Amino acid sequence: MNCRMTIRRLSAFQDKELAAPQVRQVELHLRECGACRAEWDALRDLEQRLLGLPPAAVDPFFSTRIMAGLRPRPAGKNRLLQAAAFAALFITVFLAGFFLQKSALDRQDAERLPAVTFTSVLLERQDLGLLTVQEDTLRQFTRKRP
């Protein structure tokens, strides 16, 4: 192995990331090449300096403070209850929408398309603050408008 290859592999050699045959090649080259050995010594010196930096102090109450700061997580059963509550809410909103549409249709003249009527009812109800309609849901209906 020549100097260029050795220098290129020196960092991985130091990090013990080379395969065994490459390790032997680097070691062999270092034994016979003074210039590369100087590079190797400089790398080792750098590592010593880096490891010589004082470690960050960990205060003894660190874990206590973490535990005090945790927000309780809903347990498994509670999560199931939450899901059930969301489902119930969804069904309620769906049924409400259905009956709103139905009552609106009863009042509107029969010529208007159902999709148009439904959208306009949604919009009207939203304007009145009676209903919150998701923007993208609304867009799906409005796109179908003639």
Partner 1 sequence: MDDPQLTDDEVVSSVLGGRDRDFEILVRRYSQRIIHFVARMTEDGDEARAIAQDVFLKIFEHLPYYRRENNFSAFIFKIARNMTLNWLKRRKRTVFFSRLLGHELDRLPLRRDPPRLSPMEQGEREQALTRQLRRLPVEQRLALVLKVYLEFSYKQIAGVTGWSVPKIETLISRAKARLRKGIRLQESGNEPVVEAREK
Phi then psi for 41, rounded to 5 degrees? Answer: -65, -40
Lay out the site mask for partner 1 across 99-138 (x = CB under 8 A, - = otherwise).
----------------------------------------
Q: Are 101 and 118 in contact (CB under 8 A)?
A: yes
The nearer residue to partner 1, 69 or 146, going by C-beta atoms, is: 69
Q: Using CB under 5 A, which of 9, 10, 13, 36 touches Zn ion?
A: 36
Q: Given CA atoms 16, 22, 23, 26 in this order, what sign does their dihedral have? A: negative
Q: Using CB under 8 A, which of 3, 11, 84, 112 touches partner 1?
A: 11
Q: How far is the CB of 58 from partner 1 (least distance, A)?
A: 5
Span interacting with Zn ion, options 12-20, 36-44, 101-109, 128-136, rule CB under 5 A? 36-44
The token pair that represents 128 in the structure block: 């009145």
The nearer residue to Zn ion, 29 or 125, going by C-beta atoms, is: 29
CA 144 to chain centre: 35
7-13: list long-range contacts, CB under 8 Å, 24+ apart.
Answer: 7/36, 7/39, 10/36, 10/39, 10/40, 10/43, 11/43
Q: Which stretches of the chain bind partner 1, using CB under 8 A? A: 8, 10-12, 15, 17, 42-43, 46-47, 49-59, 62-63, 65-67, 69-73, 75-76
